[in-house]
Amino acid sequence: MLAMGKQVILSASGSDVSVSEKAEDEFSYKGEKYVSWGLNNSWPEEAAEIVGKVGVLSTGIDYRCRTCAGSGVIPARLTGIDGKCRETFEPFSDLNVIRFLNSYSFRRYHFEALRDLFKFGDAFPLLVFNVDSSKIVRIQTINARHCRLSVDKKRLLVYNDFRNGIPGDGQAKVYDMLDEADPFWDLDERRRKGKLKGGKAFAFPRLRNYFSSSDYYALPAWDAVRRAGWIDIYTEIPKFLASAYRNAMNLMWHINIPYSYLENMFPEADYSNNPEKDRQKDFTAFFDSIEKNLCSSENANKAVITPYNDDPALKDFSKWEITKLDNTNNAMEKLSTSVAANSEILFSLMINPAVFGAGMPGGAYAGNNGSGSDIREAFMVSLILNHCERQLVMDPPELMLHFNGYEDIDIKYRNLLLTTLDTGHSSEEKIS
């Protein structure tokens, strides 16, 4: 979490906290001061590594992006409010706008903006103008890992290797950033004053996780479970289980064969050349044959037949003893903890684990194994909760359309909803 003057930074494990002074928070490029993003200016790189090794976190972010993107977008125009206080819209059929919203460049901006917003907590759109700066022709997302804000938040520095230090002169790009309180007013003022010339690109104010109160870089929603230690638990459990399986002695049976039995089966008189070595070799082959004939799934429930001496004095020295061993290596406890970690991570992303069936029958999170209705409701809740992020990522395209002369256009999402069989179909499309 960043603040002017001091910076409170958490380690990747969430356990260690250090406080650095303002001089360490900032760095300079061509005389301009910029704010570092995390310890050693490398928080985005650390976040990407965390997401890359935590499967449920990576999948959860991908899920939020997919449900947020829906089935694409369409343009519409608000016409009023009906008698039930619901907005009414009419289709907006300008082919230029429709082509733009269906274009590769828009889809790329859309998906990458959602990715960075959920993954890092910030996304950085760029408005690209035509040669005479009369129109915005494209919106693109600059990879958040490569972006740093100036102290006054009026410039955006883009460099692809912040982890290895600050850029030298000429190694980075700098874009003017529009006013975050009212970017359209700022852009319109620049146009009115003739400051939009030569096709210069402008950075749109960063899109940020609204729940973060940081003055500069927002923290992603999942950072709370990292600080709480659930990410550590998630990553340690597979290591523990792998080590347990590698090192465990998963023995089930102990077969105890008396030496008298072996003495009778392999009498020393039969070995003349090297009795000790040759007899030991036959002992080993005999033990191997027992294991071969009793182990494996093909030999399940197989009987063991052994002779014994019926002389009461020798009986106990001739029989085999077969004892079942208790296997104390119970992985269920660790798997239950893993399920708890999965659920906590999904909760941080506001995802109901029922969507993924993230539970274990009979366990503490057994209720997560929901029915079809639970999954449908969880999915519907996801769509509702996505409204804030959808508004954020549509602000730059709506500004673009407004700047280019298309007034009062709303960009609406198409959602494919799962329905029940009694409706006569399995899905339907809704606009939101």
Residue 179 reports pLDDT greater than 70: yes
Among 22-31, 100-109, 316-325, the least confident range: 316-325
Q: What is the mean pLDDT of residues 373-400?
A: 86
* Residue-level pLDDT at 12: 42
- 31-35, 142-146, 166-170, 314-318: range with lowest mean pLDDT: 314-318
What mean pLDDT comes out for the span 125-153? 94
| 309, two tokens | 């001496």
Confidence of residue 137 (pLDDT cuts 50, 70, 90): very high
* Two structure tokens written together for 87: 């907005």
Tell me which of 6-15, 243-252, 317-326 is least confident. Answer: 6-15
pLDDT (tens digit, 9 = 90+) per residue, 322-379?
A: 777 666 555 556 666 777 788 888 888 888 777 776 544 444 555 545 566 777 777 7
Pairwise CA distance, residues 219 & 208, whole Å: 8
Q: What's the mean per-residue pLDDT of the chain?
A: 80
Spatial contact of 81 and 369, defined as CB atoms under 8 Å apart: no
What is the pLDDT at residue 166? 87
Domain ranges in the chain are 42-218+378-431, 251-324
198-to-131, 133, 292 alpha-carbon distances in Å: 6, 6, 81
Q: Which tens digit of pLDDT belongs to each residue from 9-50? A: 444 444 444 433 344 588 999 989 999 998 888 899 999 999
Residue 253 has phi, psi (to 5 degrees) of -130, 145
Residue 380 in tokens: 């519907």
Which residue in this structure is represented by tokens 């997560």?
Answer: 368
